[in-house]
């Protein structure tokens, strides 16, 4: 019953995403097919024999971020269904130093694989290379580490589409006029930085004469810091018309501040948000609409890729193919940073019409 509802809502969102993008005359991101989303209820136990007794680690950016917890839960479910052990790690703060300590602990534990959402693109290289030199399979998910620090990256959605879509959405929200700001995660986060680069490119290349990007602020994926940074933006730029937060922590904090200060309708918030955290802000109009993918599926796909690397089914080279259970089959492709990646799917658009269907899913 629950599964059926999930499938139905996926079909609903799939058609809405297409309809909405088409209606706006914008290039739609390749919409995620129902078969690729919301897969968490069904994992297969294929490969259980060969995986038994092995330890698979996931090391996310930081603790206390529900997005990261959902990634880890998707990872754990798939690993345990295969008869192996999942080790879930999350540092207190989203720093490279804290992750390096944890990588060294995992090397000492002789885990079979480490899936990491990197807090820095380059700084983890010595630790991750050491892991790979000892036969540990290393992959990144969510936030990539550089190509020499990983065998493959699990990318949640096309970075260019995320960046460009967020600017196009903001233009629509501010009716083509006004100052806008970005509230990001940490200044070192590779995923946010890539999306911001694409936002800047869209601003340069498109028709955005009336729009001025005044500031990029960093809330470090900490709720209170993101609140403080939002308040500073509103104080320093009293004419600000929109805040783009490409982080689930930042978008919720910015929406709360705009709501608490009575600025709904004056300052629009958009970005990447968890439906469960953003439903109230989409309902009250502080965030007219936003985007995201299924973070549980990001973790699940990383788990399937980890096992495929350990089994030797893939090496992480472009053209490698592997089975990701109910998520479907995936192919390793070349990534823009010179390494390789696996692309989960397309982002969904969440607005007043569909948010209630999603707020209980993730
Ligand atoms: C935050 C994290 C994560 C990112 C999401 C959108 O939770 O920074 O890395 O993918 O936002």
User: Ligand 1: distance of its center to the CA of 67 in Å?
Assistant: 7
Residue 122, classed as helix, strand or coil, is coil
pLDDT of residue 240: 98
What is the CA(47)–ligand 1 centre distance, in A? 31
Tens-digit pLDDT profile for residues 307-350: 999 999 999 999 999 999 999 999 999 999 999 999 999 999 99
Pocket of ligand 1 contains residue 221 by CB under 6 Å: yes
Task: Give the pLDDT of residue 33.
Answer: 30
pLDDT digits (tens, 9 = 90+) for 167-196: 999 999 999 999 999 999 999 999 999 999
Query: pLDDT value at position 50?
Result: 85
Q: What pLDDT is recorded for position 330?
A: 98
Q: Is the CB of 159 under 6 A from ligand 1?
A: no
Separation in Å, CA 316 to CA 99, 123, 210, 239, 338: 23, 21, 44, 48, 13
Ligand 1 binding pocket includes 185 (Cβ within 6 Å): yes
> What pLDDT was estimated at residue 3?
42
Helix, strand, or coil here: 12? Answer: helix
Q: Give the mean pLDDT of 33-60.
A: 63
Is 272's C-beta closer than 6 angstroms to any atom of ligand 1?
Answer: yes
Q: Residue 156 and residue 138: Cα distance in Å, rounded?
A: 17
Q: Where would I find the H helices in the chain?
A: 2-23, 48-51, 66-81, 96-108, 125-133, 159-173, 190-205, 223-236, 248-260, 275-284, 295-311, 355-358
Instruction: Give yes or no for residue 6 having a pLDDT over 80.
Output: no
The mean pLDDT of 17-29, rounded to a whole number, is 33
| Sign of the Cα pseudo-torsion (143, 146, 149, 155, in order) | positive
Cβ neighbour number for residue 12 with a 10 Å cutoff: 15
pLDDT given for residue 27 in this prediction? 28
pLDDT more than 70, % of the chain:
86
| Tens of pLDDT, residues 240-260 | 999 999 999 999 999 999 999
Instruction: Report which protein residue has its CA nearest ligand 1's atom 8.
Output: 247
pLDDT (tens digit per residue) in 79-107: 999 999 999 999 999 999 999 999 999 99
Residue 205 has pLDDT above 90, yes or no: yes
With bands split at pLDDT 50, 70 and 90, how would you rate the model's confidence at 48? low
Q: Is the CB of 354 under 6 A from ligand 1?
A: no
What average pLDDT does the structure give for the chain?
A: 90
Asked if 16 and 10 count as a contact pair (C-beta separation under 8 A), the reply is: no
Tokens 């078969």, residue located: 35
With 0.85 as the threshold, say if the pTM is over it.
Answer: yes
Decide: 294 in ligand 1 pocket, CB within 6 A: no
Distance of CA 192 from the midpoint of ligand 1 (Å): 8
Residues ≥6 apart with Cβ < 8 Å to 20 = 349, 351
* pLDDT computed for residue 36 by the predictor: 35
């Amino acid at each position: 019953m629950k599964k059926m509802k999930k499938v139905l809502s996926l079909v609903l969102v799939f058609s809405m995403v297409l309809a909405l993008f088409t209606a706006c005359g914008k290039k739609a991101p390749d919409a995620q097919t129902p078969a690729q989303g919301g897969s968490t209820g069904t994992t297969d136990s294929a490969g259980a024999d060969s995986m038994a007794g092995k330890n698979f680690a996931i090391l996310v950016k930081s603790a206390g971020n529900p997005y990261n917890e959902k990634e880890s839960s998707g990872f754990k479910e798939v690993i345990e269904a295969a008869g192996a052990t999942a080790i879930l790690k999350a540092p207190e703060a989203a720093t490279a130093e804290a992750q390096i300590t944890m990588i060294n602990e995992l090397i000492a534990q002789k885990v079979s694989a480490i899936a990491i959402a990197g807090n820095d693109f380059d700084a983890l290289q010595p630790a991750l290379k050491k892991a790979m030199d000892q036969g540990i399979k290393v992959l990144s998910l969510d936030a990539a580490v550089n190509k020499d620090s990983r065998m493959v990256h699990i990318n949640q959605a096309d970075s260019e589409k995320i960046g460009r879509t967020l600017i196009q959405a903001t233009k629509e929200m501010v009716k083509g006029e006004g100052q806008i700001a970005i509230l990001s995660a940490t200044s070192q986060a590779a995923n946010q930085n890539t999306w911001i680069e694409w936002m800047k490119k869209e601003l340069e290349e498109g028709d955005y004469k009336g729009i001025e990007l005044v500031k990029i602020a960093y809330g470090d994926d900490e709720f209170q810091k993101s609140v403080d940074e939002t308040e500073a933006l509103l104080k320093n730029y009293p004419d600000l018309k929109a805040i783009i937060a490409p982080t689930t922590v930042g978008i919720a904090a910015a929406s709360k501040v705009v709501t608490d200060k009575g600025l709904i309708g004056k300052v629009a918030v958009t970005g990447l948000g968890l439906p469960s955290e953003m439903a109230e802000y989409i309902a009250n109009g502080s965030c007219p609409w936003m985007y995201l993918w299924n973070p549980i599926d990001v973790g699940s796909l990383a788990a399937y890729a980890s096992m495929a690397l350990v089994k030797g089914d893939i090496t992480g080279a472009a053209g490698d193919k592997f089975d990701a259970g109910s998520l479907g089959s995936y192919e390793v492709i070349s990534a823009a940073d010179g390494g390789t990646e696996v692309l989960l799917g397309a982002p969904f658009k969440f607005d007043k019409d569909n948010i209630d269907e999603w707020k209980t899913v993730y």
